[in-house]
Structure formats: structure tokens, C-alpha cells
């Protein structure tokens, strides 16, 4: 019980979990080169002594213990602001553990249908919090033929489902795809991917189980190979976290770990709640990255002596506009928070969905401005090894000179970051992440329709038109 050290976290991953990567079954992820960077990244969240983040990283629980702040239930605007600040300094493995916020947000509604499920949510939240666990958000099903409902698929397992119920618990079968950091977490928190209808009861299922539970298998994939040079890949050499293709091969879940088992009326609530917290996390990252894009566009322009050119200034202004719209939207969403009946607060649902939509819908064309100012060296710049080689390096130093003060090596680092973030494997991953992670564009459009004050908009439009309300 209590806070783990990074070494204890690493040791806790040696638990017999079944993982695969690139065709290889990996029995101990803590010693495998593929997992070196991912485990380093996730371990940093356990550095509770780090003076720069000591206060931010943990909080005092009501019971007098200390826990990672990702488990702090926000009850005031200040709590929410601290949570957002924490998100800027936490790995994605720490961030996805915020899945318990999604569960705690729906707990009151769940209690009305089945108080035992609500008690299970509370107990699992405390278990994860007090043992300093990390938990994956396990939502997206394989889904097969998108035209057909879960139970209409040729293979009934294309959405995760209950295949057996007993006095002790349920047995589930299916697969959940794209699960961020699944192999680096302790718990898999499973929820339905969408609302379920009456004939889909076996698919309305939510629970939490340890990653090493019998029958769970994870196939990993990441944008980064095991080893990347940090000069040539300044972002992805440090940031790689694999997604997992997670299989549930007849997995037993005891009742005390079940949050939903057939109550279809609650399925969409779980999915929506998770969407809110996922999208908030995505926005925080978008705010951070969009500011870096502005800085990179400015630097690359200064290094080429064109920062006063009106066309370049227009491009930088476009990047500023994008970055500031995102920053202000996130700020607005947190200031105009909403409250659950038990007093937990969460960011404004409409604002988060509009902001996430804006981020995703404009990401690709905004990056275009950065590429436009940067030029071709973004993708043709030679590698660090060529700079360090005496013979080739002298030419790089000579021909990468531009304006006074712009060191060739600094220029190379700037180009490398632009390429890594926007034009290479990690950059390609980011292009898809912007659109799909946290749900595709349509998931946000649906939430806009559900939460926008349409009655007022209609009434004002009618009044402005001089028409009679109907």
C-alpha cells in the first residue's frame, strides 16, 4: 500500500503478463529492449521526490495517506486547474489512469440502477489509488461490420461480451483495440464502446481486471523502434508508449470487479464519461504541442533571416491563432465546469467537445503553415552521424550557416524536432491521433448536438425572424 518508487513500479510489471511485439512473445517486459523507453517514461511519474514536481504529483487522501494526484477527485475550480497542470507533467500512462475519474463521474447514476456496482467502482478506485496502480482505458471494440449492431455480427465476439454468468462472476470474450499503454499498466478498465440496445445486453459490460489475469493477451505496436538517436529524433526517442491490441480469451471477472453486466441503459453513460476525460487529456497535449509549433515556426524563420517577411508572419499568426484558440478553450472548459450530484466537478462537456473538434478538424491544415515556412530540410537534413563525421561534418557546418547567431547544430536540432513531430513516424502517428484518439470527429459532433442549448438558439432565431414561437 502507498506510493511506489520507480523501482517498485518496474518490479510490479514482472507478473507473468502475456505480451507480444513484432512476432515475439515477451515474458519479462522489464528486461526487453523494446520496452526500455516506454518503461522509463512511465516510471518518471513515480518520482515523488523530484523537487520540481513533488507538490503537484501527489495529494493527501481524506484517509490521511498520500496518492498520485491523478486520483484526486476534483471538487473545486482550483482542483481542476491543478489537475490540468499535472497533466502537462505526466506521461500518457499516468494520464490514462484518470479512467477512474470517468467511473467516479458515473457512480451516482450507476447507484440508482445497482448500488453494488457503484460500491464496486468506489472500492476499485480506492484499490488503484492506494496501491499506486496505473490503469488503461479499454473501450474500443474490434467492431467488425460498422453497419451491424454488436449481436448482429457474423462473429459474435467482435464486440467484447459476456459469455457466461455464475454466482462467482462473469466470463468475457472479445478484443479491445488501440489501448494506450496497456502493457505498462496494472489494471484494464473495460467499458462499452457505445450505447447498447435491449438486444445487446451481453455487450453492456464494464469491469476492471489485472493485466496478468488468465486469458488476457496484449499485442503491442509503437511508432518508435527500440533505439532512436535523441539528436535526430528529439521527441520520439523519449516518448514512445505502445498501444495494445488486447485480447480477452474467456477471462473470468469476479462480481466485486464488475461495474455493469447487462444494464443497457447505462452503457452510453460510461462511454460518454470516458470520452470527456480522454478529450480533456487530448486537449492538454494539443495546447502544449501547438505552442511548440509556434516556437518552431518562429525559430526556423529567424534562422533563415525571413522572420519579417509578411508571408512568414501570416503563417506564424495562423499558428498562434490555433494555439491560442486551444489554450482559451481549455481554460474556458475548466472555468465553466459542471458538477455531479455527489459534488465531483468535471470540465464543461460542450466546451471540451467543441475544443477537441476544433483541434482535430484543423490540425492537418495548421501543420501545413509550419511545413510551408520550414522548407525541404525538414525531411532532407542529414543525420547526426554525418555532422559528427569529420569529412562530411565540415560541409554541413559550412552550408548550414545562415544568419549570425544561428549555429548549424541548433538549426539541425530545430529541423529535427519539426520532422519528428510532424513529418516522420511519430508525426504521422500524431496526424491520426488528432483525428481518432478520444473518438473520431463524429463522436464530438454527436456530443455537441446532445449538450448545446438548442431551445434558446431556436427561440432567439425565431424572435430575430419576427416569427411566432412553436
Ligand X SMILES: Cc1cc2nc3c(=O)[nH]c(=O)nc-3n(C[C@H](O)[C@H](O)[C@H](O)COP(=O)(O)OP(=O)(O)OC[C@H]3O[C@@H](n4cnc5c(N)ncnc54)[C@H](O)[C@@H]3O)c2cc1C
Q: Which is nearer to ligand X, 137 or 232 (CB)?
A: 137
Does 440 sit near ligand X (CB under 6 A)?
Answer: yes
Does 448 sit near ligand X (CB under 6 A)?
Answer: no
- What count of residues does the chain have? 470
Q: Which is nearer to ligand X, 396 or 433 (CB)?
A: 433
Does 38 sit near ligand X (CB under 6 A)?
Answer: no
Does 285 sit near ligand X (CB under 6 A)?
Answer: no
Instruction: Supply the minimum distance, in Å, between the C-beta of residue 53 and ligand X.
Output: 24
Residue 26 CA to residue 24 CA, distance in Å, equals: 6
Question: Which pairing describes strands 187-190 and 135-138: parallel, antiparallel, or unpaired?
Answer: parallel
Does 437 sit near ligand X (CB under 6 A)?
Answer: yes
Instruction: Supply the minimum distance, in Å, between the C-beta of residue 328 and ligand X.
Output: 25
Does 444 sit near ligand X (CB under 6 A)?
Answer: no
Q: Which stretch binds ligand X (CB under 6 A): 28-36, 176-184, 199-207, 403-411?
A: 176-184
Does 433 sit near ligand X (CB under 6 A)?
Answer: yes
* Residue pair 103/272 in contact by the 8 Å Cβ criterion: no
Number of amino acids touching ligand X (CB under 6 A):
20
- DSSP letter string, 111-177: HHH-HHHHHHHHHHHHHHHHTT--EEEE--B---STTS-GGGSSSGGGS-EEEEE-SSEEEEEEEEE
Binding mask 378-397 for ligand X (x = CB under 6 A): --------------------
Does 146 sit near ligand X (CB under 6 A)?
Answer: yes
Instruction: Supply the minimum distance, in Å, between the C-beta of residue 213 and ligand X.
Output: 18
Q: How far, in whole angstroms, is CA 271 from its chain's centroid?
A: 15
* Residue pair 353/279 in contact by the 8 Å Cβ criterion: yes
DSSP 27: S
* Residue pair 174/253 in contact by the 8 Å Cβ criterion: no
Within 207-246, the residues that bind ligand X by CB under 6 A are: 243
Instruction: Supply the minimum distance, in Å, between the C-beta of residue 307 and ligand X.
Output: 34
Does 140 sit near ligand X (CB under 6 A)?
Answer: yes
Strand partners, 190: 138, 207
Residue 429 CA to residue 407 CA, distance in Å, equals: 30
**CB-side neighbour CA atoms (13 Å) of 27:** 0
Contact residue for ligand X among 385, 432, 457, 462 (CB under 6 A): 432
Residues that bind ligand X (CB under 6 A): 96, 137-140, 143, 146-147, 176, 178-180, 243, 432-433, 436-437, 439-440, 442
Amino acid at each position: 500500500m502507498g506510493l511506489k518508487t520507480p523501482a517498485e513500479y518496474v518490479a510490479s510489471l514482472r507478473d507473468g503478463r502475456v505480451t507480444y511485439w513484432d512476432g515475439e512473445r515477451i515474458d519479462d517486459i522489464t528486461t526487453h529492449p523494446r520496452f526500455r523507453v516506454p518503461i522509463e517514461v512511465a516510471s518518471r511519474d513515480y518520482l515523488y521526490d523530484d523537487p520540481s514536481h513533488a507538490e503537484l504529483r501527489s495529494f493527501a487522501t481524506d484517509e490521511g495517506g498520500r496518492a498520485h494526484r491523478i486520483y484526486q477527485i476534483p471538487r473545486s475550480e482550483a482542483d481542476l486547474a491543478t489537475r490540468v497542470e499535472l497533466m502537462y507533467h505526466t506521461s500518457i500512462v499516468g494520464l490514462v489512469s484518470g479512467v477512474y475519474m470517468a467511473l467516479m463521474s458515473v457512480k451516482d447514476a450507476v447507484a440508482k440502477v445497482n448500488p453494488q456496482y457503484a460500491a464496486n467502482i468506489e472500492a476499485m478506485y480506492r484499490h488503484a489509488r492506494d496501491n499506486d496502480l496505473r490503469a488503461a482505458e479499454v473501450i474500443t471494440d474490434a467492431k467488425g461490420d460498422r453497419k451491424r449492431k454488436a449481436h448482429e455480427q457474423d462473429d459474435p465476439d467482435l464486440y467484447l461480451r459476456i459469455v457466461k454468468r455464475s454466482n462467482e462472476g462473469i466470463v468475457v470474450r472479445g478484443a479491445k483495440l488501440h489501448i494506450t499503454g496497456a502493457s505498462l499498466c496494472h489494471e484494464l478498465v473495460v467499458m462499452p464502446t457505445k450505447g447498447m440496445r435491449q438486444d445487446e445486453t451481453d455487450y453492456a459490460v464494464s469491469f476492471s481486471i489485472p493485466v496478468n489475469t488468465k486469458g488476457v493477451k496484449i499485442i503491442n505496436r509503437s511508432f518508435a523502434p527500440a533505439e532512436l538517436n535523441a539528436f535526430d529524433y528529439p521527441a520520439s526517442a523519449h516518448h514512445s508508449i505502445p498501444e495494445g491490441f488486447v485480447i480477452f480469451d474467456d477471462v473470468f471477472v469476479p462480481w466485486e470487479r464488475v461495474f455493469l453486466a447487462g444494464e443497457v441503459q447505462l452503457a452510453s453513460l460510461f462511454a460518454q464519461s470516458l470520452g470527456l476525460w480522454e478529450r480533456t487529456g487530448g486537449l492538454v497535449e494539443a495546447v502544449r504541442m501547438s505552442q511548440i509549433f509556434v516556437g518552431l515556426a518562429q525559430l526556423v524563420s529567424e534562422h533563415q533571416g525571413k522572420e519579417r517577411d509578411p508571408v512568414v508572419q501570416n503563417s506564424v499568426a495562423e499558428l498562434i491563432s490555433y494555439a491560442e484558440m486551444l489554450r482559451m478553450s481549455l481554460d474556458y472548459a475548466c472555468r465553466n465546469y459542471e458538477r455531479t450530484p455527489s459534488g465531483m466537478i468535471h470540465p464543461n462537456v460542450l466546451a471540451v467537445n467543441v475544443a477537441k473538434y476544433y483541434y482535430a478538424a484543423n490540425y492537418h491544415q495548421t501543420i501545413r503553415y509550419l511545413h510551408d515556412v520550414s522548407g525541404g530540410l525538414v525531411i532532407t537534413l542529414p543525420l547526426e552521424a554525418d555532422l559528427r563525421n569529420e569529412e562530411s561534418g565540415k560541409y554541413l557546418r559550412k552550408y548550414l550557416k545562415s544568419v549570425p547567431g544561428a549555429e548549424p547544430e541548433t538549426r539541425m536540432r530545430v529541423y529535427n524536432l519539426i520532422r519528428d513531430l510532424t513529418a516522420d513516424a511519430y508525426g504521422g502517428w500524431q496526424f491520426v491521433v488528432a483525428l481518432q484518439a478520444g473518438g473520431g470527429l463524429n463522436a464530438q459532433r454527436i456530443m455537441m448536438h446532445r449538450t448545446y442549448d438548442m431551445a434558446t438558439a431556436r427561440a432567439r432565431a425565431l424572435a430575430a425572424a419576427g416569427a411566432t414561437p412553436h
